[in-house]
Structure 1
């Protein structure tokens, strides 16, 4: 099943900046070959359910390996069966309504 998720991994007990931990998760997603878009408070990921969930698990593993004693994550999951839709399709439909072009 195709899935689009919004993942926010929050390492706890590592200080104020979490950029190095976020970078580790981005490396996981790149290595998994998934389509993803980082944004200011998380990352949108799309792919097959099992592959995406395996990458989410791997993100937790690498962040713990990097020294985070605790992690709190939020995960929003979207699936649909009526048609195929990508992350970009969702963005494009809003730009079409607004009459704007994506940057």
Structure 2
């Protein structure tokens, strides 16, 4: 999972890939194809109901999303739209693979204090 560019920003992303113009209303087969691409990428990812959290070096995250587009087109979707939110930070080191997890844990710790009060 090492970056090809030592200056690459570490990116924590959430993206929603939307196959368009398919014959069926379900897009699960296309999303499964994207999931296969992400598994091969080696990047930390977690699918959820309306998208996927993905993290790693910026260039690798963007390449993985590109590769998902290419795979979904190859599967027969004539159009693909993707919404992407990406966060980076340079004020502290993020242990690779813990970006999304760390964000959730921080909020959970704050909420845990509420129950102790």
Q: What is the TM-score normalised by the length of structure 2? A: 0.82
Map of 1:8 onto structure 2: 16
User: Which residue of 2 is the match for residue 99 of structure 1?
Assistant: 112
Partner of residue 48 from structure 2, selected from 39, 45, 62: 39
Give ranges in structure 2 of 5+ residues lacking alignment: 1-8
Q: Give the paired residue count.
A: 100
Q: CA deviation at 1:84?
A: 2.7
Matches for 1:12-91 after TM superposition, within 5 Å: 12-14=20-22, 15-85=24-94, 86-91=99-104
Q: For the residues of structure 2 that align with 1:41 and 1:30, how far apart are their CA atoms?
A: 18
| CA–CA separation in structure 1 for the residues paired with 2:105 and 2:11 | 18
**Partners of 2:12 and 2:63 in 1: CA distance:** 14
RMSD: 1.2
Q: How far does the alpha carbon of each residue in 1:60-95 deviate from its partner, in whole angstroms, 9 at most, with x for none?
A: 000000000011110111101001341100010111
